[in-house]
Structure 1
């Protein structure tokens, strides 16, 4: 038995307490000594095969990634001692054997896995850190690679496994193929393991989809996103933050905010509380008007309340989200209601997204320029960061013009060929003919007297962002730097303050350790002498040290919103002793304002957050923070945040 609820739910369900993830039991568990020795030897053999393959310029990089994911899986499980069950040892042997087989096939020019059948593991190299990341792709039974047919793509986000690593993922992908009952390709991203599909875990979904598109003909109008539990939280997030990427979104269970999910009564400090708007999906419910959303769950599942809350929030906005419930089911992804849920998603998939120009009417909300695109419109700048920012309206059938109302929008761009003119908050402006018809996007800026359309030269100047306004991928907070290509830079000079140098190196070491374990990549690290013009052009620079030790910090320090002398740092008018205080900040890089510079910080979430619950993976230091540090006898540091803040839309302190 199951039932469907489109705009209301059983009141009793509202009283269910939210399920808070218990700390993951992830204590290190090693393989038996004899197995470890043998596995290390087999890994070394595979790594040598890969190095030989890399020396052959004729071998495609994507095929190398398909081999290297197996070596990476074995390397990480060995280094982090993640043999949580005896079967992990056996499966690591199997992973290494498959890796050696693929390496041999590739060396012989006959990579058999490229003739896809059933579920196949592929890999790609991430733009963020250069790491190789796996994903699984399941093919229909009648898949024909050389056909001109474009295939729908279903992206399914996995739940929190607690003991998931690359070996487990490779041996147990969600896909079960070949399947005769579906006509789509089924993508299972790895998501850099269990991080709630946030930060580089979020980027993994986009990068995996992009890699699939490079390999196979995908119908871009028929990409469906779904997931359950942690995968449901990810589907709520990715589905509503990127509404124009999917033809349909199907979350089950999961969580949609921090405070209620964690039953957290005490309000966080403002620099943390505001940034909850980055990932709290319930704040983005309005975007369900721009992409069909269907949800489901079990009547006895405490996480069902996430679905019911979203249904009610959407109803308040006059948006319907169908909800399918199996009354007797608990927290399980496959239940009777799942079949109706999937049938509805398949119906949506068959219809697909409307062809260009897409949806003619939109209702779009964001809280940050990071998530700024809906159909033919981009919100370029916000008046107030982390406040509700909306654009609603669309094509008027009678006049043929766009009619849009905005709130908290400072600048936006619109595809020029959507309409002849646009009426923004009552002001009629040219669109198709604007900027001499030379740019695909037309830019509009709001001034004291209302909206202005930018001419060609003004548009070019706006794009260059010489005024350093917060824009997409240049809006902070600190953690955003690690969703983009980055490199950490150590100094080679003489530090002004030895104590601060020791602290900054401890911050880098901790970042390297935690990123490797929890986000499954090696942090790229170079010295200040190795930084080139190309490095500055291509990557966010994460600088460690002080102006004495790090030549890059010395070069830019006068352009940062702080004052730094041999023994003091002044931030927001207050001076701190560098012997026991440091500053962590993110800012447009003065050497390349289209990229970030970060000073003395890696991710601001740490191991306790990853172990506790994915809902804790929100920014902890805002855009800028002063840290009081103390070195213990064991060489580790205690850190206390004594002040932190978020820059406004002009990269200035409020």
Structure 2
């Protein structure tokens, strides 16, 4: 064959390998799998069918930047579908690195994660699980490959997100390694945090996971996530192992914060929540030469807080290393071997809880059922000793105790709360939580569940980012035709990037005329528009805690009627009170659109103008303050003084 023919043939092979899979064939296979997802063959987990549909999603999305990966997932889906049609789980004997998918309530897209099962893995046994959180520019697939010894230069991450690698080392056969996606670069907040727990649940449905041997480990942004999730939910993990991450969002941001911003970031900062880690194995790693945003002094401050709170820890400090410490931490599997003996303590004699968030209000057998105010940083100390269960509280109105997990001695114990004996706890109590409420005469047993009346409760408490845990529908106004396109564009942008740098987070967008009763019942609605152009906003306006009308926006005694003024708020939906509504409205269409420039951490409401939204600030309003902002009270009403100007923006420390 002449040389030019050989080149042409090779080019043809490469082109075929990188071509997009045939769209009609992908659609046909997906339709078949959709039916099988509804009624899987006997012996085939629904999760396996969903994973094949995730492969088809990747085959459709990846051809532009990762054409070979698109073809790989297309071929995998075709081959595994044949196995599935025969009534066999195509993943039953899969070993090595396996990409899996699951259906998230938070996005119309399927979400993915990667696991590694070594040769010799026994599916009949219970296994420890380590959940791995990637850093910036990475994804679940690449990060698991990096952990397994493939030293991919950071500058090439984006080109290698889906590149196939061989593992540089084999994990012990009894371990499950699972790398989360976390909706890309959400830095493991809100939807990113939920993704971690959805991954654990999905893996636990298809493999036997020992719930007392679940570990959390991540680097850089994933180190931040490990600190954050690991201390918000310390009781759920046997061990928390951050690498090269910042333990405090307040230090990471570096701004002089308003009080509402300080509280918002405290709820996510391990340094403020340090006491939560008292019963969880903690080992953290950092390089003294780390010159990036994850500064060593942040970790030194955390170490001081841990000492002050008497929380045990192991700090592995690399004097001659910078940010890239992953291989020094994992050491080709030795880290996993060292974790083999670590177990979660399900029934500790002493429990400490710090929280400012209903989503993270439990540690072991203690839970804040209702905060005295919300949000506020609440604290609970509980201990079993000397025939007593002694509990002290700060900023708590209702307390929930999971009595079956309290190590009550055989003879029973007196329950003493804030210095007063409430009742006698028997040994071997049934698995029914005990709810206590603080009244005028002290603490007393109360009925299970929230108190009646409109009030902030778990899942309906704010602040604004709390919507990111919920299924969401974005609704744009259509009553002013010349503004409809701008409203639709604002809704579409918000549907996939209200959390800056988030990936694979697509949500439905509809016109105000298309919202159904099912949508009102089942979803958080986000309304975009003005009082004039959004008919659904007009229906809800009388029931909102902030006045939005023809005359402008009114917060308490303060009116904001400038053309560039807008508001974003979260509240119970007046048409469906068990669901949120989020409103992004302006006195003009332009002002409503501009609200998409607000930063990530926001209280219950923010009133802004063109100066606030001149540029998109990432975390808080450092340079461009809102006109006013704040939290509603525990009954979703305006607090005294609401609407007062917030003052100048914070300045860099």
TM normalised by structure 2 equals 0.78
Q: Deviations over 1:109-163 (max 9, x none)?
A: 4453332212211110002224201111111322223x2x211111111222368
Q: Does the aligned pair in 2 maintain the 1:296–1:341 contact within 8 Å?
A: no
Match of 2:519 among 529, 535, 538: 535
| 1:410 counterpart residue number | 397
Greater mean deviation of Cα atoms: 543-552 or 466-475? 543-552
| 1:372 counterpart residue number | 361
Give the whole-Å Cα distance in 2 for the aligned partners of 1:650 and 1:228.
40
Give the whole-Å Cα distance in 1 for the aligned partners of 2:389 and 2:159.
51
* Matching of residue 589 in structure 1 with residue 570 in structure 2: no
| C-alpha spacing 1:370/1:164, structure 2 compared with 1 (3 Å) | closer
| C-alpha spacing 1:180/1:507, structure 2 compared with 1 (3 Å) | closer
Q: CA deviation at 1:627?
A: 3.3
Match of 2:134 among 158, 180, 204: 158
Instruction: Tell me: higher relative CO, structure 1 or 2? Use CA pairs within 8 A at least 6 residues apart.
Output: 1
Match of 2:474 among 488, 494, 498: 488
* Matching of residue 93 in structure 1 with residue 71 in structure 2: yes
Give the whole-Å Cα distance in 1 for the aligned partners of 2:182 and 2:595.
18
Q: Does the aligned pair in 2 maintain the 1:581–1:629 contact within 8 Å?
A: yes
Q: Deviations over 1:522-564 (max 9, x none)?
A: 2112344554444333322222335555454344322211223
Match of 1:359 among 348, 370, 373: 348
User: Number of matched residues?
Assistant: 578
Where 1:55 maps in the other structure, the secondary structure is: helix
Greater mean deviation of Cα atoms: 42-51 or 241-250? 42-51
Where 2:272 maps in the other structure, the secondary structure is: helix
Greater mean deviation of Cα atoms: 324-333 or 200-209? 324-333
* Matching of residue 442 in structure 1 with residue 442 in structure 2: no
Where 1:644 maps in the other structure, the secondary structure is: strand
What's the C-alpha RMSD, in Å, of the aligned pairs? 3.7
| 1:24 counterpart residue number | none
| C-alpha spacing 1:472/1:464, structure 2 compared with 1 (3 Å) | closer
| 1:297 counterpart residue number | 286
User: After superposition, where does 1:608-623 map in structure 2 within 5 Å?
Assistant: 618-619=600-601, 621-623=602-604
Give the whole-Å Cα distance in 2 for the aligned partners of 1:242 and 1:230.
18
**Which runs of 5 or more structure 2 residues have no equivalent in the other structure?**
1-13, 143-157, 587-591, 614-623, 640-653
Where 2:289 maps in the other structure, the secondary structure is: coil
| 2:175 counterpart residue number | 184
* Matching of residue 478 in structure 1 with residue 478 in structure 2: no
Give the whole-Å Cα distance in 2 for the aligned partners of 1:465 and 1:176.
54
| C-alpha spacing 1:254/1:573, structure 2 compared with 1 (3 Å) | same
Where 2:174 maps in the other structure, the secondary structure is: coil
Q: Does the aligned pair in 2 maintain the 1:324–1:341 contact within 8 Å?
A: no
| 1:598 counterpart residue number | 582
Q: Does the aligned pair in 1 maintain the 2:136–2:221 contact within 8 Å?
A: yes
* Matching of residue 429 in structure 1 with residue 414 in structure 2: no
Q: CA deviation at 1:296?
A: 1.7
TM normalised by structure 1 equals 0.78
Where 1:467 maps in the other structure, the secondary structure is: coil
| C-alpha spacing 1:290/1:373, structure 2 compared with 1 (3 Å) | same
Give the whole-Å Cα distance in 2 for the aligned partners of 1:605 and 1:111.
49
Greater mean deviation of Cα atoms: 183-192 or 561-570? 561-570
| 1:135 counterpart residue number | 113
Match of 1:52 among 22, 32, 52: 32
* Matching of residue 317 in structure 1 with residue 309 in structure 2: yes
Q: CA deviation at 1:366?
A: 1.1
Q: Does the aligned pair in 2 maintain the 1:371–1:472 contact within 8 Å?
A: no
Q: Does the aligned pair in 2 maintain the 1:129–1:487 contact within 8 Å?
A: no
**Which runs of 5 or more structure 1 residues have no equivalent in the other structure?**
1-33, 610-616, 633-638
Q: CA deviation at 1:641?
A: 3.7
| 1:222 counterpart residue number | 213
Greater mean deviation of Cα atoms: 67-76 or 369-378? 67-76
* Matching of residue 206 in structure 1 with residue 182 in structure 2: no
* Matching of residue 572 in structure 1 with residue 556 in structure 2: yes
Q: Does the aligned pair in 1 maintain the 2:288–2:321 contact within 8 Å?
A: yes
| C-alpha spacing 1:485/1:432, structure 2 compared with 1 (3 Å) | farther
| 1:256 counterpart residue number | 247
Q: Does the aligned pair in 2 maintain the 1:46–1:100 contact within 8 Å?
A: no
| C-alpha spacing 1:240/1:528, structure 2 compared with 1 (3 Å) | same
| 1:381 counterpart residue number | 370
| C-alpha spacing 1:288/1:624, structure 2 compared with 1 (3 Å) | same
Match of 1:65 among 50, 57, 68: 50
Q: Deviations over 1:33-58 (max 9, x none)?
A: x9699744535532332123213443
Give the whole-Å Cα distance in 2 for the aligned partners of 1:431 and 1:536.
45
